[in-house]
Amino acid sequence: MKSPIFHAFLTAAAISFACSVTPTLAQDNKPPVPKGNVTVSFWGIATQPWQVMIDDFDKTYPNIKIKWTKYSTDEIKQAVRVASAAGKLSDAWFNWGGSLAAPYEDGGHALELTPALITQYGVDKNIVPAALDLARHNGKLYGIPIWVRPMTIFYKKSLFDKFGIPEPKTFDDLEQACAKLKANGITPFACGGKFSWMTMRTTDFLIEHFAGPALHDKLFAMEASYSSPEVVKAFTKLKEWVDKGYFNDGFISLDPNESLPLLFQNKAAMTFQGPWIEDQNIIPAHQDPKDYIPIIAPADQKPVRVSGFQEQIQFWSKAKPDEQKAALLFASFITTPDVAKKHVSQFGSPSAVVGVFPSEDHPITTTMVKWLQSGVQLYLPTDQALPQEIVNAFFQAQDSMILGSLTPEAACAQIQKAVEDYKASH
């Protein structure tokens, strides 16, 4: 049996970013506007630019007030979980997809966007198909995608130029670049492994390289074994890179935000990140975004894929009708191309809205959008592709292997055991 996530990959793989879709507002079938004063409770990440969009929405619909409660990344996961168990969710909330959203979708907490709602709120016309496919769960849509976030290797051009290192196009190039950087006293990768998911990006990339897209997807679908030789090779390579000093000292306990200064101070030359660092880290640190070049992580595989995910707004299925309508209207409003284009400079990272491109002062995001348009596909990161119970085992095995308390074989076997335990109990 193939998991819904696996189906989402296949569908996403089949459809390119499809920015060729003509941007069209759902003007013929306008979404309903609640009468009277309505307050919508909305939970979102504090560092995301919601306020600009809320202000714009408030001006257009003065009878609707969006009350934004700000959370950090981990806080919002906890808040949604507790609130859903208590039956007190906000009318709308920001969420990721995959296994991070699945419990709310399966548990009936997130509103299913029926074909009628999809049409009524212009979702099918305004959102790029690839983002919709990444967001679908069991073939159904439970939210309106806002962003598509590819994650890949960034290199610091000035450092590469200084040591005469060419941009890595293949896996061998990447390894040669690492060796040369290390020989010149530069740490190849800046990484903050405190939460394990930043290290996981490299692990995922190595699995993509050694296992290839087909086996990688089968692993996510729990149809292949993590003890396969290809996965063991990937874990062995990760350990080899750690032992060679390709990651910064003590990276395993560093916060991801603490690792980026190493790049800014020319102590490290590469990092595995997403386009959000352009707005959240590089520009605020007065660094030149043109010096940080994202490359398609060279997995040497076909189809060409990088890790990535979509981010969406979900709606509480048990919200009062007017609040629910207003919440849907808000998400629909900010994802209409005209509005999204207006806010593109604040929006930053690749928008899921058709025909919306980053502003010229965002070279990183622009590059990544171009990849997606040219057919580069996305695979979900492990922490969204696998159930969270298995993610726990994956993180522990990965980190234990890095620390030397597990061999790569034992680490892979530990993950596979968690997969089998999960399958036996579900």
Q: Kindly tell me which of 295 and 419 has the beta carbon lying closer to other proteins.
A: 419
Residues 309 and 378 sit within 8 Å (Cβ to Cβ) = yes
Beta bridge partners of 155: 270, 293
Name the segment binding other proteins (CB under 8 A); options: 54-62, 82-90, 232-240, 334-342.
82-90
Q: Which is nearer to other proteins, 60 or 78 (CB)?
A: 78
Selected from 55, 161, 172, 249, the binder of other proteins by CB under 8 A is: 249
Query: How far are the Cα atoms of 43, 57, 102, 309, 355 from residue 39, in angstroms, in the given order?
Result: 13, 13, 27, 30, 31
Q: Is 245 in the site for other proteins (CB under 8 A)?
A: no
Q: Does position 338 bind other proteins by CB under 8 A?
A: no
Least distance (Å) between residue 163 CB and other proteins: 20
Within 295-314, the residues that bind other proteins by CB under 8 A are none
Query: Minimal distance in Å, beta carbon 101 to other proteins?
Result: 11
Q: Where are the alpha helices (DSSP H) in 61-156?
A: 73-86, 98-106, 115-120, 123-126, 129-135
Rounded Cα–Cα distance for residues 346 and 79 (Å) = 26
User: Does 214 help bind other proteins (rule: CB under 8 A)?
Assistant: no
Tell me which of 157, 182, 194, 343 binds other proteins, using CB under 8 A.
194
The shares of helix, strand and coil residues in the chain, as percent rounded to the nearest 5, are 50, 15, 35
The residue with tokens 């919601």 is 50
* Helices 388-403/408-425 angle, 10° precision: 170
Best CA proximity match to 419, nearest among 382, 373, 368: 382
Q: How many CB atoms lie within 10 A of CB 401?
A: 23
- Residue 108 interacts with other proteins (CB under 8 A)? yes
Among 112, 124, 258, 409, binds other proteins (CB under 8 A): 258
Among 328, 405, 308, 237, CA closest to 12: 308
CB 192 within 8 A of CB 255: yes
Distance, in Å, from the CA atom of 66 to the CA atom of 89, rounded to the nearest integer, reads: 15
- Contacting residue, 396, 409, 410, 413, with other proteins by CB under 8 A: 396
Q: Are strands 38-45 and 92-95 parallel, antiparallel or unpaired?
A: parallel
**Are 176 and 48 in contact, with CB atoms under 8 Å apart?**
no
Tokens representing 17? 């970013």
Structure tokens at 134: 């990444």
Q: Shortest Cβ distance from residue 248 to other proteins (Å)?
A: 7
Applying CB under 8 A, which part among 237-245, 246-254, 284-292, 361-369 lies near other proteins? 246-254
Q: Exposure string (b/e) for 134-145, b if CB count within 10 Å is 16 or more?
A: bbbbeeebbbbb
x-or-dash string of contact with other proteins, 31-70, rule CB under 8 A: ----------------------------------------
Stretch near other proteins under the rule CB under 8 A, chosen from 153-161, 331-339, 373-381, 389-397: 389-397
Q: How far is the CB of 194 from other proteins (least distance, A)?
A: 5
Residue 104 CB, nearest approach to other proteins (Å): 6
Which residue number, 34 or 408, has a Cβ lying nearer to other proteins?
408
103 CB-contact burial (10 Å; exposed 0-12 / middle 13-18 / buried 19+): middle
Shortest separation between residue 423's beta carbon and other proteins, angstroms: 15
The count of chain residues that interact with other proteins, using the rule CB under 8 A, is 41
Query: Judged by CB under 8 A, does residue 78 bind other proteins?
Result: yes
- Contact status: 419 vs other proteins (CB under 8 A): no
- List binders of other proteins among 84-103 (CB under 8 A): 84-85, 103
Q: Tell me whether residue 109 or residue 362 sits nearer to other proteins (CB atom).
A: 109
The yes or no reply on residue 262 touching other proteins (CB under 8 A) is yes
Q: Does 203 bind other proteins (CB under 8 A)?
A: no
Closest CA to 382 of 226, 258, 266: 226
Does 243 help bind other proteins (rule: CB under 8 A)? Answer: no
- Residue 342 in the binding site for other proteins (CB under 8 A): no
Residues that bind other proteins (CB under 8 A): 74, 77-78, 81-82, 84-85, 103-104, 106-109, 193-196, 248-255, 258, 261-262, 267, 387-389, 391-392, 396, 399-400, 402-403, 405, 425
